[in-house]
Chains A and B, each alone.
Chain A
Amino acid sequence: METSKQTIGVNIVSAEAEIYSGEAHAIFVSGAEGELGIKPQHTPLLTALNPGLVRVQYQDHEEVFYISGGLLEIQPYVVTVLADTAIRAADLDESAAQEAQRQAEEALQKHKIDKEYYLVAADLAKAVAQLRAIKRIRKQ
């Protein structure tokens, strides 16, 4: 990364895909505390991102991405945008947690059975057992 002090590495990734990876002269994002313009040799910074645009400038042209929030890490030589795919909010997370807990209790209380599948599985197991038995008979 020492090749030039004129550009800075940019990686934009979301949990389900890589969005952008390359060099840039400047990038602009909207952080939790306001708009940020980042040039090479920026001081290390870690911030939450607001939903908004990420603009990546390289020479004359500019690429624009929309993200629905996430985190930003700045090192002097590289900027990493961790974009969220999921819509995040404290209360949403809380309800997801409760749902997982409820599922655990439910699973402990009763046998939840995916009926059709288990019927097929049982049939197949039976068939496999038959095969094995036949094989043993054949060997004798």
Chain B
Amino acid sequence: MSSAKEIRSQIKSIRKTKTITRAMEMVAASKMRKAQQRMLTSRPYSRKVREVIGHLAKAHSEYRDLYLELREEKRIGYIVVTSDRGLCGGLNANLIRRVQTHMNEKKQNHAVLDLCLVGHKAIGAFRQSGANIIATAEHMGDAPSVNQIIGIVKIMLDRFREREIDSIYVAYNDFINTMSQTPQIERLLPLVPVDEDKLNFYWDYIYEPDPKEVLDALTSRYIESQVYQAVIENIACEQAARMVAMKNATDNANNLIDELQLVYNKARQASITQELSEIVGGADAVS
């Protein structure tokens, strides 16, 4: 049995760890609330853009083919959104694993992959893999703005418009609630048409100034808003996952402290008993 002093120093060090994990838990909780708020305020826009895009898919424009036509996937663009920091459970690892299985499937069909990475963890994970990384963004903070996303989206979109890449996917963590986040991979381009019966007749928009310009602007906005939404959602996921991970760590530390305290008390008592019996034994010997 280890000495009382050793156990005491162990307890002390666990306490210190506990204060860190508890502080991180509380910080994550408050950041998560803010991130959720941001997620809700940006939702109307992404929903409306998707609606307009859905209408557009029903319109009979000559130019829309570029965005709707399903081509053979010879070259694929991935936008992978992860967090910058770790200590948030298996959040990033799960996402990256999902993405890699997805990529491997595509690779078997001899597709070449281009990656756009958002977040430090994605960069770390894919740098070694020898994949073709064409753009990255990291350290965007807790409240990223659309400005910070325009760049990476433009790189992808330009390549798509030049027909260099045939489709674009975005991968991120979907915020379901505080306890569960699921990795999600969605196709952004070619557009996924929405089923709506209302507009099933032959019609087209009037475009001002001209179809190409308006459609390009609209798809840029669409992709940006979807990626922005993904980034925002991923931040909420990160904070929720960190909160849960840190809560577990704090609980574990508490359990350990309780156990060790018991061991310590026993050791202390044992040594007192021993000393007592030694004194009594000594007194007996003297008398």
Contact = CB atoms under 8 A, between A and B. Distances in A.
Interface stretch (B67-75, B145-153, B269-277): B145-153
A16 to B, nearest CB: 6
A33 B209 contact: yes
Nearest to A98: B151
Nearest to B152: A100
A97 B154 contact: yes
A31 B208 contact: yes
B138 A107 contact: yes
Interface in B65-118: 84-87, 116-117
Interface string A1-29: 00000000001011111100100000000
B206 interface: yes
A25 to B, nearest CB: 21
Interface string A79-114: 010101110000011101111110110011000001
Interface hub of B151, B207, B256 (most chain A Cβ within 10 A): B151
Interface of A: 11, 13-18, 21, 31-33, 43-48, 71, 73, 75, 80, 82, 84-86, 92-94, 96-101, 103-104, 107-108, 114, 117, 120-121, 124, 127-128, 130-131, 134-135, 138
Closest 10 CB pairs of A and B: A96-B151, A100-B151, A18-B44, A47-B208, A100-B135, A127-B17, A104-B136, A97-B154, A46-B205, A13-B45
